[in-house]
């Protein structure tokens, strides 16, 4: 009798222990799910480790062809067969009955405007192995991905669209130099790049992408198009405190007073927030019509919204993300990081000489007009706060809160 009772007690204890384990596991899973939901509700996205990367294959983006008023359908084109003995993405194609070397940029300074992109591009091009664009604004900006392929000029005025062959022509002189220059082993190590800062965040041409025809929201954006063309692109971002960025941008474009900037910023916030009451953030930030109503380019500073679009298509490792404030403080250290990322050889002495070059594209208008009003800074900081929190969360880097 005692033996049976002992067995019964052992069985009861075992069942209780098993029940306790089940409860603890369920609680742990529920807590983790709650934390994830809380993060997503507060910032609109989950942490990078919880995000599933999407690529064009998974999305099954198909060629649909081009109708009137649409951009060239790049998905009707096969990706070029890049040559293994070229560092820069290049391939041979027939042109006028002859085989000619064609090249697209090895690296892209994607953004953002008024954040030292011109200065960074100049210091990169100072390297002997880096060639300029022969038909770009300032030998730096092609505007192909964000504007020209849709039939927009730099200023968003309409112009004939630029197709993929047009992009190749912009780098034709670089291709000739790349082809003629090789090491003893036959490796062509020269590269070229594109420094169009609007590529990161200017998606206003999305309705002209054939796959988006008739849609209220885009399913294909610049990252998807570039993923179809490139195998291993090098993306560089240099981000600046969005409040300071907007003031520099405004003074560059209009150059009025700090008081006028305050009114322009207030109006821009009102337009965007009124739009967001009835539409998604993306619809408001990607809208050409809304953009035309703004007195400032306030939408460019909502970095996290655009960053998430890029990270849906490309892995985080594909991006070198810098801050303007760090670049200005220690250009040599930032330049070393960039050269290493681009796999460019250098000596410390030469790096020091390039770091000492004068800063490019300093806004003299802003210097003459003085700093922005404190009430304007408070207004803009409040508007951008959620986007900065979102970006720091997305990149897992508190520096992008711009607290210091």
- In the sheet that holds 107-111, the strands lie side by side as 130-131, 191-194, 107-111, 234-239, 319-323
| Tens of pLDDT, residue by residue, the chain (404 residues) | 444 444 454 554 454 444 444 333 334 333 333 333 333 333 333 323 333 344 434 557 999 998 888 999 999 999 999 999 999 999 999 988 899 999 999 999 999 999 999 999 999 999 999 999 998 888 899 999 999 999 998 777 888 899 999 999 999 999 999 999 999 999 999 999 999 999 999 999 999 999 999 999 999 999 999 999 999 999 999 999 999 999 999 998 887 899 999 999 999 999 999 999 999 999 999 999 999 999 999 999 999 999 999 999 999 999 999 999 999 999 999 999 999 999 999 999 999 999 888 776 555 555 567 899 999 999 999 999 999 999 999 999 999 999 97
By DSSP bridging, strand 191-194 and strand 90-95 are unpaired
The residue written with tokens 């049976």 in the block is: 4
Predicted TM-score (pTM) above 0.75: yes
pLDDT for the residue numbered 54: 40
pLDDT for the residue numbered 256: 81
Cα torsion angle, 233, 173, 225, 57, sign: negative
- The DSSP element (H or E) to which 107 belongs, if any, is strand 107-111
* Helix (DSSP H) and strand (DSSP E) numbers for the chain: 16, 7
The helix/strand/coil state of 141 is strand
CATH of domain 98-401: 3.40.50.300
C-alpha 97: how far from chain center: 38
By DSSP bridging, strand 191-194 and strand 234-239 are unpaired
Q: Would you report the helix, strand and coil content of the chain in percent, each value rounded to 5?
A: 50, 10, 40
Q: Please state the φ and ψ torsions of residue 81, each to the nearest 5 degrees.
A: -90, 95
By DSSP bridging, strand 234-239 and strand 130-131 are unpaired
Query: DSSP readout, 291-338?
Result: HHH-SS-GGGG-HHHHHHHHHTTS-GGGEEEEEHHHHHH-HHHHHHHH
């Amino acid at each position: 009798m005692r033996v049976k009772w002992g067995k019964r007690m052992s069985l009861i204890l075992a069942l209780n222990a098993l029940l306790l384990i089940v409860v603890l596991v369920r609680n742990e899973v529920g807590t983790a799910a709650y934390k994830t939901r809380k993060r997503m509700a507060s910032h609109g996205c989950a942490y990078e480790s919880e995000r599933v990367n999407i690529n064009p294959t998974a999305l099954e983006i198909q060629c649909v062809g081009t109708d009137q008023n649409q951009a060239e359908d790049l998905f009707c084109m096969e990706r070029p067969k890049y040559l293994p003995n070229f560092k820069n993405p290049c391939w041979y194609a027939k042109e006028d009955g002859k085989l000619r070397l064609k090249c697209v940029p090895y690296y892209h300074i994607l953004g953002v405007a008024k954040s030292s992109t011109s200065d960074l591009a100049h210091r990169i091009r100072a390297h002997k192995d880096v060639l300029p664009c022969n038909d770009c604004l300032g030998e730096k900006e092609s505007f192909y991905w964000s504007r020209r392929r849709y039939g927009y000029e730099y200023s968003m005025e309409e112009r004939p669209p630029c197709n993929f062959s047009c992009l190749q022509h912009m780098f034709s002189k670089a291709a000739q130099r790349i082809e003629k220059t090789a090491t003893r082993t036959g490796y062509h190590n020269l590269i070229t790049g594109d420094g169009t800062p609007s590529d990161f965040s200017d998606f206003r041409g999305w309705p002209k992408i054939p796959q988006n025809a008739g849609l209220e929201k885009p399913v294909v954006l610049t990252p998807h198009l570039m993923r179809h063309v490139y195998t291993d692109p090098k993306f560089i971002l240099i981000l600046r405190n969005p409040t300071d960025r907007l003031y520099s941008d405004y003074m560059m474009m209009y150059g009025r007073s700090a008081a006028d900037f305050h009114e322009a910023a207030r109006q821009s916030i009102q337009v965007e927030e009124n739009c967001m009451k009835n539409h998604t953030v993306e619809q408001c930030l990607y809208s050409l019509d809304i953009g035309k109503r703004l007195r400032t380019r306030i939408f460019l500073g909502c970095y996290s919204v655009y960053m998430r679009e890029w990270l849906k298509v490309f892995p985080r490792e594909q991006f070198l993300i810098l801050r303007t404030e760090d670049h200005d403080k220690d250009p040599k250290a930032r330049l070393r990081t960039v050269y290493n990322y681009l796999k460019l050889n250098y000596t410390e002495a030469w790096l020091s000489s390039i770091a000492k070059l004068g800063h490019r594209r300093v806004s003299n208008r802003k210097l003459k007009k003085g700093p922005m009003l404190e009430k304007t800074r408070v207004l803009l900081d409040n508007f951008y706060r959620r986007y900065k929190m979102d970006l720091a969360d997305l990149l897992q880097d508190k520096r992008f809160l711009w607290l210091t």
